[in-house]
Amino acid sequence: MILFVFSSCNRTADNRPDNGKEKLSWLNSEYGLMGIEALNGPNNLTSRFASNTIKTNIFDIFKAKKELVIKVKNDVNSSPLGDVFLLKLRTNAEIQDIASQYDSLDFVEYAEPNFQVELSDDGVNKYNDEASTVDQVHANSDIVVAVIDSGVDVNHKDLKNRIVAGYDAVSDDKDVSDDYGHGTHVAGIIASNSSAKIMPIKFTDGKTGKMSDLAKAIKFAVDNDVDVINLSLGLKKKSALLMDSVDYAFKNDISVVSAAGNYNTSKKYYPAAYGKVIAVTGLANDGTKLPQSNFGTWVDYAVKAQDILSTMPGNKYGYATGTSQAAPFVTAKIVRILEKTKDLSIRSILIELGKISTSINTGKFALLLGREL
Q: Please list the active-site residues.
A: 149, 182, 324
- Peptide bond just before 271 cis, omega within 30 deg: yes
Which of 236, 248, 230 minimizes the C-alpha distance to 303? 230
Residues 187 and 194: their CA atoms lie apart, in Å, by: 11
* Alpha-carbon 186 to chain mean position: 14
The backbone region for 201, taken as left when phi is positive above 0, alpha when psi lies in -120 to 50, beta otherwise, is beta
Distance CA 34, CA 50 (A): 9
**HSE toward the beta carbon, residue 54, CA cutoff 13 A:** 7
How far from chain centre, in Å, is Cα 121? 14
65 vs 113: CA distance, rounded Å:
12
CA distance linking residue 224 with residue 83, whole number of Å: 21
